[in-house]
A = this chain, B = another copy of it.
Amino acid sequence: MNDIKQFLRSNALRPTKQRIVIAGYLFDGTDKHVTAESLSTELTKRKHIISLATVYNTLHDFYENGLLKKLTLSADRVYFDTNTDDHHHFYSEKEQFLIDINKNIKVNGLPKTPKNKKINKIEVIVHLDK
């Protein structure tokens, strides 16, 4: 609890009740993939009434501060990943199936980066169904 406050403060985030609850859930040591909706549902299940707007705000605040990774898996919702290490994913849209690939994947044969641009990140998505 105080570690969480400290953790939030050290990331320039005021430790509000809501952020403490959400951070406590997200950063409990196990990697998680959440959407605003799934997180909201989980919080409700745990009797934490936090508005959906705040869930969105908090996910973005955490993301902006590098505490979450944003995943581009399908066009109909945004996923956030508590594992911020460089890694990739197996994904099944149909089954909402999503697992980390932590192995060191190597992408070989990339052409030159376009002029005056630099690579921010390389995302590999292994789609398991259409």
Which residues of A line the B interface, CB within 8 A? Answer: 72-78, 90, 92, 97, 99, 101, 103-111, 113-114, 117-130
Contacts and interface: CB of A to CB of B under 8 A. Distances in A.
Nearest to A105: B109
A81 to B, nearest CB: 14
Contacts of A114: 90, 97, 99, 128
16 contacts: A72-B72, A72-B73, A75-B76, A75-B77, A75-B78, A90-B113, A90-B117, A103-B109, A106-B109, A107-B107, A107-B124, A114-B128, A117-B128, A119-B127, A123-B125, A125-B125
Contacts of A122: 124-127
Contacts of A97: 114, 117
